[in-house]
């Protein structure tokens, strides 16, 4: 415990005191110098949903690209629907989960 001068009246005050005992002025406590860091607490359930939605997105995209570049497919055939739906569901699921993480952050 060191003594510092009160900024208002000049009385010596302990650094452990929150205010000057003579005049009542608040005593500024020096910061330690380490920056504060906040940690986002995301539930494991939402992290698992991010992983599964990302997998659905990438599997659907890769499956779609392989299907449209396939040699056995006729040139004017409609795009395969299962990979498109998997891609879109994965993308939408990912966005909804990211919104839920933002909404429920602590």
User: What are the structural domain ranges in the chain?
Assistant: 1-28, 44-103
Its pTM stands at 0.57
User: By the 8 A CB rule, do 98 and 47 touch?
Assistant: no
What is the rounded distance in angstroms from the CA atom of residue 102 to the CA atom of residue 98? 6
Contacts of 95 (CB under 8 A, 6+ apart): none
**Nearest residue to 103 (alpha-carbon basis) of 43, 51, 48, 52:** 43
Q: pLDDT averaged over the chain? A: 85
User: What pLDDT, in 10s, does the model give residues 59-89?
Assistant: 999 999 998 888 777 777 777 899 999 999 9
**Nearest residue to 104 (alpha-carbon basis) of 44, 36, 37:** 44
> CA quadruple 13, 17, 22, 27: dihedral positive or negative?
positive
């Amino acid at each position: 415990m060191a003594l510092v001068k009160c900024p208002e009246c000049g009385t010596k005050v302990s650094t452990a005191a929150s205010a000057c005992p003579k005049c009542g002025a608040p005593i500024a406590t020096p910061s330690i110098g380490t920056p504060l860091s906040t940690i986002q607490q995301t539930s494991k359930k939402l992290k698992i949903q991010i992983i599964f939605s990302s997998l659905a997105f990438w599997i659907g995209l890769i499956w779609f690209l392989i299907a449209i570049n396939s040699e056995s497919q006729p040139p004017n055939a409609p795009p395969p629907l299962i990979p498109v739906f998997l891609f879109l569901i994965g993308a939408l699921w990912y966005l909804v989960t990211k919104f839920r993480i933002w909404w429920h952050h602590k």
